[in-house]
């Protein structure tokens, strides 16, 4: 049963009614037909007491899959309610990388209890994964994969898959290692099926294997899976020994986290992994206030420029009315360029060596955009602001100052918007930090300087 085919509210009401009437067998039957991901969404609509009972109605395997999809707070509440036996059953059904993800979000008391209810080998594997840096490929890999030897026959391979595959996260892609566990090749179940039982793996395995190191950034691993359309990616240690794999579902999570983080940074918000409605008011305040304070203080430069040209503004007040339009346009232009460049950097489409190509392209784009906006603005100011709105102080020279300012500031905004992220990447800073709010602040000041310089030169004020 797909939750999308049901009215969500109706299903919630049905489950609530069956719960009140204690018709647990019917509840169990309904839940058994729902995808674990959708069950996790349903659980958000019930208080903890009901979640615990509903969770206990799930079959063992489905319960484990649902548990992985729940948010940290719900997982913690369930663990508190579990007996040691129930906790052990859930942990035993989880893949190792999912167990590590859960442990990383839990308080120390919960972590100790989880580890206490795992066997020695599992604890050792968990501790190994926890030692890798948070953003590394090693931190998201799983050691549960199918490995073969090059002198295995196809028949040997199928026997091994049948014997060990039940505990592996994926059995489609199989990795070929030597006696020291060095990665020497890869094959798939499709290839095995297309060959005779007596054929040896070394006769058809792919030896040009793409892999990542345990200490490579996890975003690099995710991008490899996306680029090569892999279902899984091997992870090796410093001595090229195969120690784990990263599956496509983990790569999707990484890319989603990175995209969310970039969006937050681009809008001057400190990254927060919690869902919006699960984030408290003070947490939200904390994630936003730092950048707001910085941007507010940095805007002092704009005030200083306005104060410096106060006499000139008082001599021709009409200039003041166009300041918001000019600063807004320059900020928007810079923001457009920075967003495109940040995305291109993320996708590895450009690098620092391409900086002059990017500047040249954005310069030409800036010229075209500036001329187009200036031409439209010139006509608009003359016929709308001067004629229809009666702003008689607007002259051809004033209109020319505003339009020329648009051309120059847009060219500068495009170049600033593309250069800052590239330089940030070169200095090993996050390009998303050098984004729209920061560029807008810089361009506000620069636009005013250009505006008043042109006004001084053309209007002689």
CATH of residue 191 = 3.10.580.10
| Alpha carbon distances (Å) from 117 to 26, 82, 320, 405 | 32, 12, 70, 69
**Is residue 197 in some structural domain?**
yes
**Is residue 264 in some structural domain?**
no
DSSP-assigned letter for residue 172: S
* Angle, CA 190 vertex, CA 226 and CA 188 arms, to 5°: 55
Q: Is residue 6's pLDDT more than 60?
A: no
CB 186 within 8 A of CB 221: no
| CATH number of the domain within which 396 lies | 1.10.357.20
CB 106 within 8 A of CB 80: no
Among the listed residues 378, 401, 406, 399, the one whose alpha carbon sits nearest the alpha carbon of residue 460: 401
Q: Where are the alpha helices (DSSP H) in 381-459?
A: 396-426, 436-459
What is the reported pLDDT for 194? 94
Q: Is residue 146's pLDDT more than 80?
A: yes
What is the reported pLDDT for 236? 95
- Over range 313-341, report the average pLDDT: 84
Of 131, 160, 179, the residue that ends a domain is: 131
In this structure, the answer to whether residues 95 and 124 fall within a common structural domain is yes
In this structure, the answer to whether residues 117 and 32 fall within a common structural domain is yes
What is the reported pLDDT for 5? 52
| CATH number of the domain within which 12 lies | 1.25.60.10
Q: Which domain holds residue 367?
A: 299-459
**Is residue 402 in some structural domain?**
yes
pLDDT digits (tens, 9 = 90+) for 352-375: 999 999 999 999 999 999 999 999
**β-strands 232-236, 212-213 pairing:** parallel
In this structure, the answer to whether residues 358 and 397 fall within a common structural domain is yes
In this structure, the answer to whether residues 337 and 437 fall within a common structural domain is yes
Rounded distance, CA 125 to CA 115, Å?
A: 11
- Over range 386-414, report the average pLDDT: 91
Rounded distance, CA 111 to CA 101, Å?
A: 11
**Is residue 162 in some structural domain?**
yes
pLDDT digits (tens, 9 = 90+) for 292-309: 777 677 667 777 777 777
**Is residue 307 in some structural domain?**
yes
Instruction: Calculate Rg over the CA atoms of the chain.
Output: 30
pLDDT digits (tens, 9 = 90+) for 402-439: 999 999 999 999 999 999 889 988 888 777 666 666 78
What is the reported pLDDT for 290? 72
């Amino acid at each position: 049963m797909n939750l999308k085919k049901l009215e969500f509210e109706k299903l919630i009401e049905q489950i609530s009614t069956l719960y009140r009437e204690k018709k647990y067998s019917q509840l169990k039957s309904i839940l058994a037909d729902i995808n674990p991901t959708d069950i996790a969404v349903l659980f958000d609509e019930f208080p903890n007491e009901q979640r615990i009972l509903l969770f206990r109605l799930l079959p063992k395997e489905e319960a484990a899959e649902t548990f992985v999809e729940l948010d940290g707070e719900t997982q913690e509440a369930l663990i508190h309610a579990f007996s040691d036996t129930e906790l052990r059953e859930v942990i035993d059904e989880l893949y190792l990388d999912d167990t590590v993800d859960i442990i990383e979000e839990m308080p120390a008391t919960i972590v100790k209890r989880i580890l206490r209810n795992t066997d020695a080998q599992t604890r050792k594997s968990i501790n190994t994964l926890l030692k890798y840096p948070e953003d590394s490929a090693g931190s998201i890999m799983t050691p549960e994969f199918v490995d073969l030897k090059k002198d295995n026959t196809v028949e040997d391979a199928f026997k091994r898959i049948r014997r060990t595959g039940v505990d592996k996260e994926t059995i489609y892609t199989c990795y070929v290692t030597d006696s020291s566990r060095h990665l020497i090749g890869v094959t798939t179940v499709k290839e095995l099926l297309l060959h005779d039982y007596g054929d040896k793996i070394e006769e058809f395995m792919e030896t040009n294997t793409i892999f990542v190191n345990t200490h490579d950034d996890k975003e690099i691993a995710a991008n490899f899976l996306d680029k090569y359309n892999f279902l899984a990616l091997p992870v090796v240690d410093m001595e090229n020994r195969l120690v784990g794999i990263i599956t496509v579902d983990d790569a999707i999570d990484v890319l989603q986290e990175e995209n969310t983080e970039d969006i937050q940074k681009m809008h001057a918000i400190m990254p927060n992994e919690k869902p919006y409605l699960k984030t408290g008011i003070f947490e939200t305040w904390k994630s936003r206030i730092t950048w707001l304070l910085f941007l507010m203080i940095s805007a002092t430069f704009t005030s200083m420029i306005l104060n410096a040209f106060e006499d000139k503004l008082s001599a021709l007040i009409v200039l003041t009315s166009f300041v918001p339009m000019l600063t807004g346009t320059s900020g928007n232009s810079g923001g457009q360029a920075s967003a495109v460049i940040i995305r291109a950097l993320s996708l590895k489409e450009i690098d620092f060596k391409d900086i002059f190509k990017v500047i040249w392209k954005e310069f030409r784009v800036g010229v075209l955009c500036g001329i187009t906006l200036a031409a439209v603005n010139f006509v608009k100011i003359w016929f709308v602001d001067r004629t229809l709105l009666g702003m008689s102080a607007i002259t051809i020279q004033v209109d020319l100052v505003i339009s020329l300012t648009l051309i120059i500031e847009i060219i500068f905004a495009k170049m600033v918007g593309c250069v800052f992220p590239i330089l940030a990447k070169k200095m090993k800073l996050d390009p998303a930090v050098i984004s729209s709010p920061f560029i807008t602040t810089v361009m506000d000041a620069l636009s005013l300087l250009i505006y008043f310089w042109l006004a001084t030169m053309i209007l002689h004020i």
